[in-house]
Amino acid sequence: MSEEQQVPYIPLRLSMDDSNPIYEQIESQLREFILTGVLPPGTKLPSVRAFSSYLGCSVLTARRAYQDLEREGFILTRQGMGSVVADIPEEKMAALRREPFERAI
């Protein structure tokens, strides 16, 4: 089975007109998909190389997004096994969902 058959379709939309760098666009959309349950815990993500090819961005850009999300606890990456969506405790998920609203106030 090829990697494309094992990983979900991730409907990211990147824009060169957006003032945010591409890696931030990737991060924010993946973060949103995780917080809303579109990408549930344990979901296998594409390899950095496959993801960058799919998005039409550099490997370094995709790697930066994955590394930042891993540092924030949204994904787990294991050498030779790939990246998966982390199992985030419900209390933390609730706090993360509230965060944008609290910043806006």
Query: Rounded to two decimals, what is the model's pTM?
Result: 0.82
Q: What is the pLDDT along the chain (105 residues), one digit of tens a residue?
A: 444 446 678 989 999 999 999 999 999 999 999 999 999 999 999 999 999 999 999 999 999 999 999 999 999 999 888 999 999 888 887 777 777 666 777
Residue from 33, 32, 28 nearest 14 by CA:
28
Maximum C-alpha span of the chain: 48
